[in-house]
Amino acid sequence: MKVSFVGNFGARPEVAKAIIEKVTETIEPTILFDIGDGQRLIPALADAEIVVSHIWKADFPPAPRLKFLQSPAAGLDLIDLPSLPRGVTVCNVDGHEQAIAEYVLMTMLAMSHKLVDIATAFRDRGSWTGGGAGGGPLHGEILGKTVGIVGYGKIGREVATRAAAFGCPVIAANRSPVADKGAASEIYPLGELDRMLPRCDFVVIAAGLGPETRNLIDGRRLALMKPTALLINIGRAPIVDEEALYAALRDNRIGGAAIDVWWRYPTPAEPNARPANLAFHELPNVLMTPHCSSATDGARARRLGGIAVNIDRFVRGEALRNAVLTT
Amino acid sequence: MKALFLGNVAVDTYEGVKGELPPALDCIILNDPIDRARLPAAAADASILVSNRWLPDFPPAPRLRLVQSVATGVELFDLASLPKGCAICNAFGHETAIAEYIVMTWLALNHRLPEISGEFRTRGSWRTSWVQSGAPHGEVRGTTLGIVGYGRVGREVARRAAPFGCRILAANRSPRDAEPGVERVYPLADLDAMLPECDTIALCTALGPETTGLIDARRLSLMKPTAFLINIARGQVIDEEPLFAALRDGTIGGAALDVWWQYPTPADPERRGSRHPFHELPNVIVTPHNSGWTGGMIRRRWDEIVDNLGRFVRGDRLINLVTTV
């Protein structure tokens, strides 16, 4: 069985090699990091029955034998579905949802307890302000705070389970109806998000990027949030209107934000690219991380193990896990 | 019935709860505990003292029946100078805030939050991201959390940690039943058996003869070389020098420290919390004894104080009774 690992995610050594080591059935792997290398991309796709890639462009060469496209990522927003051959099953991965849920709880706590400000002032200047010994302002806690999760999928459900243990009421909004509410008390249709937002102390963006979610959190919806509310985005940056969010944070019309996904990403020419067009890094009420909420050792092992299992299943003719659609 | 609110914390408490106090109380408010002009008269009449201290050289208070501490610790009340039969009660309300702090730092140490967010903000570094094939950081799922001191705080930590899919062990001086999610509660004397099992140790004990110097050089060496230590108890539960050496030399993985071996003074308000520069170590999260310092803690503590004063006035059984003189 010919399997091609393609692109700057699936063909990375720590991804492709780790998957190949875990596959138990016999496969013939091809690894191609640079999808701009047309001479090598043509044969890599011409023969492959399985492709592991997070990206598929409209101008990719033909892949007539392709039956199974396995993304090493959760989001399929870089896969141009219309240009895939007919009958291809597209799978994504899981195993990152626990890591991201940990990140969400961590940032909820860190923003409420003002961890970064207090720890930095104490480290840099020896300031006891904010502590019992030095008097000063009290900080917050998350007990009793309402968590609103936008996109109640695997990640959202893992967040809900953990937040409930802290005494947080959990509500959620989801595009499609949800049969099992899990730890959430109420699920809004995404179309009624406007009714959910004013209730939330935390708004957690855990949705995928698609036509219904692009620019979902715009200036009008930010204005529906409490002035103290904290926004956490681990979904995709374009779900939130960049200029509107920047203005809301700068003018303190919402309490703050923890942002892990960005409007701009580094390039080989600009490896330390600022992650936005506006200076979010200068705002004191922003906790920012470089798209690493899922980059844990455990998530990596679960994801790569899951891909290897899926390849074995396909070779044996068994049902695939995490199948999102068939073209 | 006269109630004396003495000292700045008690005065803040009075201002916060005065509308909720029993009407029968006649409250005397003294911000300065060494107000020698007013304290003798106030002390002579008061049935209730709300404060954080009563010192040996304070004037006689023969009618006191209830001393309501505004904090959990009652070590600043000189029992010998209080009348016989007087009840000493304390106040809690901090355990939620501290449990949140412990889970927060447990996550932040594993996910390397201060380091990653710090360099991303200041230098735009994507080094730790998947987009630059950064080395993965840790997560708490599947790790073992050891809670030393399975009391009010320790139990609240365990309840919050359990849904993260970790293994939870605890150690306690007196025998305690393990709640669901906690695999085992060791006797404190068997701590040496628990330490090597743990990826993170959270110290939640009170300070006493059994816990002073509990985490010494020998016990630090029983911990995994990757283990994290979180201290919200008291500085003196850990030996300062071997901890600094272990963190500096990487013989343990890191620490989050909220309690210290020394505190600021009026002459030195930015005094460092230790003789050793813990604040210069990259693997240490340092905070100024503020894990419990939340608005929610203050409100819960006030609620307990109001409840207890009402009980005293009505002659009901008191809550949070520490001892009777």
Q: Write out chain A residues lying below 8 Å of B285, CB-based.
A: 115, 119
Phi first, then psi, for residue A141 (nearest 5°) are -140, 175
- Neighbour-count burial for A274-301, b at 16+ CB within 10 Å, e otherwise: bbbebebeebeebbbbbbbbbbbebbbe
Q: Write out chain A residues lying below 8 Å of B127, CB-based.
A: 290
The minimum CA-CA distance between A32 and chain B, rounded to whole Å, is 16
- B206 pLDDT tier (thresholds 50, 70, 90): confident
The closest alpha carbon to A150, from A242, A74, A67, A240, belongs to A240
Which DSSP string do the residues of B181-241 spell out, in sequence order? TEEEEEEGGGHHHHGGG-SEEEE-PPPSTTTTT-B-HHHHHHS-TT-EEEE-S-GGGB-HH
pLDDT in tens, B30-40: 988 677 789 99
Q: Average model confidence (pLDDT) for chain A? A: 95
Q: Is the pLDDT of residue A130 over 80?
A: no
Residue of A nearest to B126 (CA): A290
Q: How far is CA B70 from the centre of its chain?
A: 14
The closest alpha carbon to A212, from A175, A243, A178, A171, belongs to A175
The minimum CA-CA distance between A118 and chain B, rounded to whole Å, is 6
Query: Contact A145/A170 with Cβ under 8 angstroms?
Result: no
The Cα A241–Cα A250 span in angstroms is 14
Q: Write out chain A residues lying below 8 Å of B126, CB-based.
A: 265-266, 271-273, 290-291
**Rounded mean pLDDT, A172-199:** 97
Phi first, then psi, for residue A186 (nearest 5°) are -155, 135
Q: What are residue B65's DSSP bridge partners?
A: none
pLDDT of residue A234: 98
Query: Contact A305/A17 with Cβ under 8 angstroms?
Result: no
The minimum CA-CA distance between A317 and chain B, rounded to whole Å, is 32
pLDDT of residue A133: 55
3-class secondary structure per residue, chain A = CEEEEEHHHHCCHHHHHHHHHHCCCCCEEEEECCCCCHHHHHHHHHCCCEEECCCECCCCCCCCCCCEEECCCCCCCCECHHHCCCCCEEECCCCCHHHHHHHHHHHHHHHHCCHHHHHHHHHHHCCCCCCCCCCCCCECCCCCCCEEEECCCHHHHHHHHHHHHCCCCEEEEECCCCCCCCCCCEEEEHHHHHHHHHHCCEEEECCCCCCCCCCCECHHHHHHCCCCCEEEECCCHHHECHHHHHHHHHCCCCCEEEECCCCCCCCCCCCCCCCCCCCHHHCCCEEECCCCCCCEHHHHHHHHHHHHHHHHHHHHCCCCCCEEEEC
Residue of B nearest to A291 (CA): B129
Q: How far is CA A199 from the centre of its chain?
A: 24
**Rounded mean pLDDT, B221-242:** 97
Scanning A86-125 for CB atoms below 8 A from B yields: 98-99, 102-103, 105-107, 109-110, 112-113, 115-116, 118-119, 122-125
The minimum CA-CA distance between A122 and chain B, rounded to whole Å, is 6
pLDDT in tens, B143-188: 999 999 999 999 999 999 999 999 999 999 999 999 999 999 999 9
Q: Write out chain A residues lying below 8 Å of B131, CB-based.
A: 265-266, 290-291
ipTM summary value: 0.89
Size of interface A-B (CB pairs under 8 A): 198
The answer to whether A33 faces chain B, any CB pair under 8 Å, is no
The minimum CA-CA distance between B132 and chain A, rounded to whole Å, is 8
**Rounded mean pLDDT, A188-211:** 97
- A70 pLDDT tier (thresholds 50, 70, 90): very high
- B244 pLDDT tier (thresholds 50, 70, 90): very high
Residue of B nearest to A287 (CA): B117
pLDDT in tens, A221-271: 999 999 999 999 999 999 999 999 999 999 999 999 999 999 999 988 998
Domain A97-288: which CATH class? alpha beta
Query: Contact B276/B21 with Cβ under 8 angstroms?
Result: no
User: Which helix (H) or strand (E) covers residue B4, if one does?
Assistant: strand B2-6
Interchain proximity B137–A292, CB inside 8 Å:
yes
Interchain proximity B100–A142, CB inside 8 Å:
yes
The answer to whether A64 faces chain B, any CB pair under 8 Å, is no
- A20 pLDDT tier (thresholds 50, 70, 90): very high
Q: What angle do CA A7, A49, A92 make, to 5 degrees?
A: 55
Q: Write out chain B residues lying below 8 Å of A166, CB-based.
A: 100, 103, 160
Interchain proximity B117–A287, CB inside 8 Å:
yes
- CATH code that applies to domain B95-286: 3.40.50.720
Residue of B nearest to A299 (CA): B139
Q: Write out chain A residues lying below 8 Å of B271, CB-based.
A: 126
Scanning A251-310 for CB atoms below 8 A from B yields: 265-266, 271-275, 281, 287-292, 294-300
Residues whose CB falls within 8 Å of the CB of residue B234, separated by 6 or more in sequence, listed in order: B206, B207, B211, B259
Task: Identify which of B108, B116, B121 has the shortest CB distance to residue A281.
Answer: B121
pLDDT in tens, B43-79: 999 999 999 999 999 999 999 999 999 988 888 899 9
Work out the percent of chain B whose per-residue pLDDT is above 70.
99
- B274 pLDDT tier (thresholds 50, 70, 90): very high
At which residue do the structure tokens 């109420």 appear? A186
Q: Write out chain B residues lying below 8 Å of A145, CB-based.
A: none
pLDDT of residue B300: 95
- Domain boundaries defined on chain A: 2-95+297-326, 97-288
Interchain proximity B104–A109, CB inside 8 Å:
yes
pLDDT of residue B3: 97
* Overall fold of domain A2-95+297-326: Rossmann fold (3.40.50)
Rg (CA), chain A: 22
Entry pTM: 0.90
> Which of A8, A94, A106, A283 best tests the B interface by mutation, with the highest count of B CBs <10 A?
A106
> Does CATH number 3.40.50.720 belong to domain B2-93+296-324?
yes
Q: What angle do CA A261, A267, A273 make, to 5 degrees?
A: 60
pLDDT of residue A135: 63
Scanning A121-140 for CB atoms below 8 A from B yields: 122-134, 138-140
Task: Identify which of A110, A118, A281 has the shortest CB distance to residue B113.
Answer: A110
pLDDT of residue A187: 98
* CA distance readout (Å), A208 to A156, A238, A262: 11, 10, 14
Token digits of residue B166: 């970790």
Residue of B nearest to A109 (CA): B104
CATH 3.40.50.720 residue spans of chain B:
2-93+296-324, 95-286
pLDDT in tens, A258-306: 999 999 999 889 988 999 999 999 999 999 999 999 999 999 999 999 9
- A161 pLDDT tier (thresholds 50, 70, 90): very high
Q: Is the pLDDT of residue A131 over 80?
A: no
Rg (CA), chain B: 23
Work out the percent of chain A whose per-residue pLDDT is above 70.
98
Interchain proximity A139–B133, CB inside 8 Å:
no
Q: Write out chain B residues lying below 8 Å of A104, CB-based.
A: none
Q: What angle do CA A110, B230, B101 make, to 5 degrees?
A: 30
Token digits of residue B153: 């705080």
Q: Is the pLDDT of residue A134 over 60?
A: no
Interchain proximity A102–B111, CB inside 8 Å:
yes
Interchain proximity B139–A288, CB inside 8 Å:
no
Interchain proximity A291–B289, CB inside 8 Å:
no
pLDDT of residue A268: 85
pLDDT in tens, B97-154: 999 999 999 999 999 999 999 999 998 888 888 777 677 899 999 999 999 999 999 9
The minimum CA-CA distance between B128 and chain A, rounded to whole Å, is 7
Q: Average model confidence (pLDDT) for chain B? A: 94
The minimum CA-CA distance between B152 and chain A, rounded to whole Å, is 15
Q: Write out chain B residues lying below 8 Å of A165, CB-based.
A: 159-160, 162-163
Q: Write out chain B residues lying below 8 Å of A107, CB-based.
A: 113
